[in-house]
Amino acid sequence: MNGKKTILSGMRPTGKLHLGHLVGALENWVALQHEYASFHLIADYHALTTNLDSSELYRNSIDMVIDWLAAGIDPASSPIFRQSQVKEHTELHLILSMLITSARLERNPAVKEQVRELNIENVSYGHLGYPVLQAADILLYKGDAVPVGEDQLPHIEITREIARRFNTQYRYVFPEPEAKLTKFARLPGLDGRRMSKSVGNTILLSDTPDEIARKMRTAVTDPQKIRRNDPGRPEICLVFTYHQKFNPGEAPAVAEGCRSGALGCVECKRRIAERIAETLAPFRETRSHHESHPQEVLDILREGEGRARTRAQATMADVHAAMNLG
């Protein structure tokens, strides 16, 4: 640990990742991975809270790891591991579950929103406990910071409450983790809604230049700009958001051309599709290397899971000692 603070970052294994994951999370993880001792968690148990079908979990986890590696996560410095392969997550989850009331969990806006979005009629015990498992994920590594998007803030707050409760009930074991918010606001999907695989409005990190160009042609633009020469409003156009992110040098000229009517949407989309394809080119190369060397990926996981387990066991020893168990 050599004096560095610890980061615990996590994602549910949803398979191949999209640009929203890159901008909203991975870029941040990569930027922080050497400044902090980082642990990268694949939250495969969490995936079960909203989908009991486990048949794709393994494949999705592998696909996600490949995208993490391609985005620049360095497994030599930061272990990558599956929650399900480090038993201590379930053990700490059990202990922490006594330190929070069910009323508090029922008030959690993040779970409420999920229930609304997915039309869940009866929330399972495990789903209600989602943030408790997440607290175990973070506290097991004594995480000081957690890089997340705003939607995760309620979970981090619950983690802090649970840490405080443990520390006062028994003795000090857990630092109270802080959320480290991503700088760039969320990247919208191609239809202007939240970018999400289930909505089908994403550009995947693994998409080819042709796929990127084809998808970009479907993106919604300013509805007032109908013909090429109509003046547009870049500030309300999601294609312009993409220019700001992936083509910052030319963005002012793009905005000017859009406003004056000199630049049509077709050309504007063609240009940004090219820039995105360029940004993702090295990424696709690393990805194809890993896809053709599956054993390397499995070795990275096995090694990461070993390191995570060592750290998790050390924390559980502290927990048991603080509680006089053992």
Q: Which residues bind ligand TRP (CB under 6 A)?
A: 8-12, 41, 43, 46, 134, 137-138, 146, 148, 152, 155
Distance CA(142)–CA(319), nearest Å, equals 11
Smaller CB distance to ligand TRP: residue 9 or 221? 9
- Distance of closest approach, residue 274 Cβ to ligand TRP, in angstroms: 31
Smaller CB distance to ligand TRP: residue 146 or 308? 146
Distance CA(61)–CA(313), nearest Å, equals 23
CA dihedral 320, 37, 81, 138 (to 10 degrees): 50
How many Cβ atoms sit within 10 Å of the Cβ of residue 77?
11
Query: The tokens of 207 are what?
Result: 């998409």
Count of positions (residues) in the chain = 326
Kindly calculate the radius of gyration of the chain based on its CA atoms and give it in whole angstroms.
22
- Distance of closest approach, residue 25 Cβ to ligand TRP, in angstroms: 8
Residue 64: which of 89, 87, 44 has the closest Cα?
44
- Distance of closest approach, residue 2 Cβ to ligand TRP, in angstroms: 22
Smaller CB distance to ligand TRP: residue 91 or 274? 91
Smaller CB distance to ligand TRP: residue 134 or 241? 134
- Distance of closest approach, residue 293 Cβ to ligand TRP, in angstroms: 27
> 81 and 297 in contact (C-beta within 8 Å)?
no
CA 244 to chain centre: 21
Query: The tokens of 296 are what?
Result: 């390397």
Smaller CB distance to ligand TRP: residue 10 or 234? 10
- Distance of closest approach, residue 212 Cβ to ligand TRP, in angstroms: 25
Nearest residue to the partner ligand TRP, using Cβ: 10
- Distance of closest approach, residue 253 Cβ to ligand TRP, in angstroms: 36
Residue type, 27: E
Smaller CB distance to ligand TRP: residue 154 or 209? 154
